[in-house]
Structure 1
Amino acid sequence: MKRYFYISLVSLGSCFSLVACGDRPPAIATQSAHVKTQSIAKESELLRITLTPDAEERLGIAHGPVTIRNTTASRMFQAEVVVPPLATGGLPISTTNDLSLLASNQVRADGEMAKAQAELTVAKKAADRAAALVQHEAGSVRAHDEAMSALAVARANLEVAQRQRSLLGPSVSSMVQHHSRWVRVPVFAANLSALDLRAPASLRGLGAGDRAYEVRRVNGPPSANQVAGTVDLYYSLEEHLETFKLGQRVAVDIPIKGATKQAAVPASAIVRDIHGGEWVYVRTQPHTYERRRVEVAKTEDGSALLARAAMADADVVHAGAAELFGTEFGTK
């Protein structure tokens, strides 16, 4: 099986050519007047890079210890921007609903409500007529009782129609103009006890580099998905209506109870390979550097918080990491 190493030595007053090695012998060491690399592992063919003091100065290499921060960890959930219910007991409206079916149901409910109103008007006139006939001893008491019963049924039917229509929310055509937005966050029921639901959450779009917004939880109607095993949490978007649109998918980071310790390095220390892997360069000896895999949990205040990395005592390169990456893999 053939293994390939691509090493491009950074020009430090002279140009170094790209080197490609075929079948690798048991150990490989490449060196020049300024730089020496040596194979030390197999994960993406790690190399130990040794620089001369002059090379370090020319590349602008700077390094420092990893810091440990007490942070509040959070868990990310995908969510959706929805319209809050207008009636008590109603459910938020989202674009996951079939809007054409919803609009059809709303039209049908409007018709049922108008029909019930008309029936109530007729029943009221019949009841008034029956009462007048009884008063003038021209009608039967039984006919009066039947008219009053029909009036009560008509009133009940109208009340039912009005409640059914209120549960369907605002008309589909007016949703975009509705001056209120919520975010519906489906959360697995097993995760609820670990979340700090009293603390504000962080909301952002799904695009890379999107700004994060602080949102606070609101008491929405109880809703859940029995098949998925999730319950819904709701957060208000009152202050960010112009930023997020109805139906937009967003990411919500909800804090986890209790503080945790996380290793932190400057964001400039992180380099990424073509597969999205995240790495840092660690100074293991004077003028000697090795690439180590890390996983960035989040970036804040110019620092990258590491989710998984044994970096407690590491001396990490925070300036010149990209130049070391180019030295190891080659630049064109």
Structure 2
Amino acid sequence: MRPPLILLLPVILAACGGEPSKPAAPPSHAETIAHETELLKLTLTPQAQQRLGIGLARVGDGSASAQRQVAGEIVVPPTSANGVPVNSLTNLQQVGAQQAAADAELARATAQARLARIALNRAESLVREEAGSVRARDEAAAALAAAQAALGAARQQRQLLGPSVSSLGSQATLWVRAAVFGSDVGNVRRDGAATITMLGAGGAPRLARPVQAPPSANSAAGTVDLYYAIDNRDRAFRVGQRVSVGLPIAGQTEGLSVPSTAILRDIYGGEWIYQKTAKDTFVRQRVEVASESGGRALLARGLSSGAEVVTTGAAELFGTEFGAAH
């Protein structure tokens, strides 16, 4: 009876599937990579530090007026107090045609006023010589008043259309239209200057003073427009350019203060600073800048009070770390 049992054993093993099945692959996999805290530690000789012009400063406590960052657009200011700013959505072809018609009307009204003045002077001269009637003089005076009223209206209509289309790109002063949410308008300090920063470009932020403009808003976005004037004599800004606007709001922001020259920004917008951690040793640290004003940067996080940071030569250290020539 044993041989039949031995023959059945392979059949039973085959029915059970033979080798055990492999476990299913996990849906995700985590792998340790280099962290931004594991940065290069630069050690420079005193001669190298002197050659790079390394300057140091200690981090101290500071405060600054609180700011709210909003989107802004460069627009052309009107030529009169009652005018409307020219923005990128304006149909310049239509505005140019309206300006040409307004210029022609202004020239016609000017000529009519000049002729009415001549007619009045002639009528007054005839009355003095007793060769003309008082009624003719009064009618000439009324005609002059009507011509002057028409001239004033023509001038006002021309001013409402703003500067000529050909001169829009050569304005010494431009306005910045800042779109502020309606819930935040009450917190904005209208007596303080705004900080204007170009998007995707370097350079220090610029200050813009608040100006009065006709009320405007975007009901779909729930924003109200605030306007600021900025100096553009160097032609740094163009009409329709988008910028970042730092609006001063009520309250103070506390933090750590360092010179603005110590801040480095990479191509992704990350903000860094070089800290001296030991003698002749420097390490790059990530920071977050809350605001900048008067050559000082207020940090929201990233350092501790009393730390020593590089203020002069930070860009040279950045090049040394990544092998870029300076």
TM range (shorter): 0.5 to 0.7
Q: 2:167 aligns to what?
A: 176
Q: 1:269 aligned to 2:262?
A: yes
Give the counterpart of 1:234 among 202, 227, 238: 227
Give the counterpart of 1:247 among 239, 243, 263: 239
Paired positions, count: 242
CA distance in 2: counterparts of 1:48 and 1:291, whole angstroms:
8
Give the counterpart of 1:68 among 61, 69, 72: 61
Give the aligned residue type for 1:247: V
Give the aligned residue type for 2:67: S
The C-alpha deviation readout for 1:90-126, integer Å capped at 9, x for no partner, is: 6433342112234456789999xxxxxxxxxxxxxxx
The C-alpha deviation readout for 1:217-263, integer Å capped at 9, x for no partner, is: 233222101122211112346xx474567835355432121222232
Give the counterpart of 1:55 among 27, 31, 45: 45
| Contact 1:84–1:182 (Cα < 8 Å) also in 2 | no
| 3-state SS in 2 of match to 1:295 | strand
Structure 1 residues not aligned, in runs of 5+: 1-38, 112-158
| 3-state SS in 2 of match to 1:75 | strand
How far does residue 186 in structure 1 lie from its aligned partner after superposition? 2.1
TM-score (norm 2): 0.55
The C-alpha deviation readout for 1:32-54, integer Å capped at 9, x for no partner, is: xxxxxxx9x622741345x4xx8
The C-alpha deviation readout for 1:143-185, integer Å capped at 9, x for no partner, is: xxxxxxxxxxxxxxxx9xx89x949932774783899864432
The C-alpha deviation readout for 1:43-91, integer Å capped at 9, x for no partner, is: 2741345x4xx82454246544212222123334423222337485x64
| Contact 1:46–1:291 (Cα < 8 Å) also in 2 | yes
TM-score (norm 1): 0.54
Q: 1:278 aligned to 2:271?
A: yes
Q: 2:6 aligns to what?
A: none
| Contact 1:298–1:304 (Cα < 8 Å) also in 2 | yes
Q: 1:312 aligned to 2:305?
A: yes
Give the aligned residue type for 2:275: V
| Contact 2:72–2:244 (Cα < 8 Å) also in 1 | yes
Q: 1:128 aligns to what?
A: none
Q: 1:83 aligned to 2:74?
A: no
Who wins on radius of gyration, i.e. which is larger? Answer: 2
| 3-state SS in 2 of match to 1:232 | strand
Amino-acid identity (%): 37
CA distance in 2: counterparts of 1:236 and 1:269, whole angstroms:
29
How far does residue 300 in structure 1 lie from its aligned partner after superposition? 4.5
Give the aligned residue type for 1:219: Q
Cα distance 1:329–1:228, how it changes in 2: closer, same or farther (>3 A)? same
| Contact 1:266–1:302 (Cα < 8 Å) also in 2 | yes
| Contact 2:257–2:296 (Cα < 8 Å) also in 1 | yes
The 5 A counterparts of 1:156-195 are 166=157, 169-170=160-161, 173=164, 176=167, 182-195=175-188
Give the counterpart of 2:85 among 86, 92, 96: 92
CA distance in 2: counterparts of 1:260 and 1:98, whole angstroms:
42
| Contact 2:86–2:162 (Cα < 8 Å) also in 1 | no
| 3-state SS in 1 of match to 2:213 | coil
| Contact 1:74–1:255 (Cα < 8 Å) also in 2 | yes
| 3-state SS in 1 of match to 2:304 | coil
CA distance in 2: counterparts of 1:274 and 1:186, whole angstroms:
27
